[in-house]
Amino acid sequence: MRYSIYILLLLVLFSCKKEDDPTPIPPPSEPPTPSADVYIYEPCDTSTGVARASKLGNDWISGVELIRYEANDTLCWYLNLLTCTSYNGFIREDIFLGGFTDSDPIGTYPIVHSTTLLGYLGIYAFSRYGLLGDDGDLLLDYYKPDTSAATSPFLQITRWDTLARIAEGRFHLAYRVTHLPTSDPKHYEFMEFSNGHFWAKIPE
């Protein structure tokens, strides 16, 4: 009896639809990938630069500072990306990203753990990611670049304006922790920052 009623309802529904109805039926959409449950902190000092990215599906913002250093008698730069707690300003995330030379740095750099090897400067960028505790001087978990990630990590410098003293660029960062278990369940073995972009002041 219930099956007969179900068939009757289907016939009524189909008979009510116009045969010349031009409105297409939209295909079912894929459900969005859920965001991971991660800690999202506040950016530290943003007076020298800002970076934005998606941290495992969550909006993420950090302060940025460009830092000059010398390696193999070559003047180089790296970006220091920092997030802090909102209530006392203690550093919680510390990302080093760079190793590009001062001479014509515009370009795209695949990311490795270290650029101290001879020949890496100006070709690769280095990076590492640290999660900090207490007042910002306790290293909780340490991450190295994951070069086996689905999207290869990279740093791209798109603007290096020495007159306006402004640098801009893009990045995709993927890391894997060096030791398990991590200090916190939300400090996942794999961490990723996608669709990243930044601006930073070039120091005098």
User: Domain segments of the chain: what residues?
Assistant: 38-201
pLDDT in the model for residue 103? 87
pLDDT in the model for residue 148? 86
pLDDT in the model for residue 117? 55
pLDDT in the model for residue 2? 37
User: Rounded to two decimals, what is the model's pTM?
Assistant: 0.80
Spatial distance between the Cα atoms of 132 and 143, rounded to a whole number of angstroms: 12
Of the candidates 191, 201, 169, 202, the one whose C-alpha atom is nearest the C-alpha of residue 55 is 191
pLDDT in tens, the chain (204 residues): 433 433 343 333 333 333 343 334 444 434 445 578 999 999 999 999 999 999 999 999 999 999 998 887 888 999 999 999 998 889 999 999 988 889 889 999 999 887 555 556 778 899 999 999 998 999 999 999 998 888 899 999 999 999 999 999 999 999 999 999 999 999 999 999 999 999 999 998
DSSP the chain: -HHHHHHHHHHHHHHHS-TT---PPPPPPPPPPPPP-----EE---SSEEEEEEETTEEEEEEEEEEEEEETTEEEEEEEEEEE-TTT--EEEEEEEEEEESSS--EEEEEES---STT-TTT-EEEEEEEEETTTTEEEEEEEE-TTSSS--EEEEEEEETTTTEEEEEEEEEEEESSSS-SSTTS-SEEEEEEEEEEEEPP-
pLDDT in the model for residue 33? 53
Of the candidates 112, 132, 101, the one whose C-alpha atom is nearest the C-alpha of residue 173 is 112
pLDDT in the model for residue 151? 86
